Homo-oligomer: A and B are copies of this chain.
Amino acid sequence: MTRSRLHTARTALGTLDALLVTSLPNIRYLTGFTGSSGLAVLTHNRRVLITDSRYREQSAREASGWRRVISAAGIFDTALSSGALRGCRSVGFESATISYADYRRLRSVLPGVHLVPTRGIVEGVALVKDGRELALLRRAIRISEKVFGEILGLLRPGMREREVAAEITFRQRREGAERDSFDPIVTSGSRSALPHARAGERKLRAGEPIILDFGCMVGGYNSDLTRTVCLGTAPRRLRDIHAIVLHAHNAAVEAVRPGIPAKELDASARQCIAGAGYGKRFIHSLGHGLGLRVHEPPRIAPTSSEIIQEGAVITIEPGIYLPKFGGVRIEDDVLVTKRGARMLTGLSRELVVL
Contact = CB atoms under 8 A, between A and B. Distances in A.
Interface in A168-197: 169-170, 173-174, 176, 179, 183, 194-196
B179 A173 contact: no
A222 to B, nearest CB: 15
A174 B167 CA distance: 9
Please give the count of copies of this chain that the complex contains: 2
Give the contact-size bracket for chain A: 35 or more
Nearest to A119: B101
A183 B179 contact: yes
A46 interface: no
Interface stretch (A91-99, A203-211, A267-275): A91-99
A67 interface: no
Contacts of A57: 194
A235 interface: no
A320 to B, nearest CB: 16
Interface in A31-79: 35-36, 53-55, 57-58
Contacts of A176: 162
Contact of A104 (B53, B95, B162): B95
A325 interface: no
A219 interface: no
A123 interface: no
A155 to B, nearest CB: 16
B95 A99 contact: yes
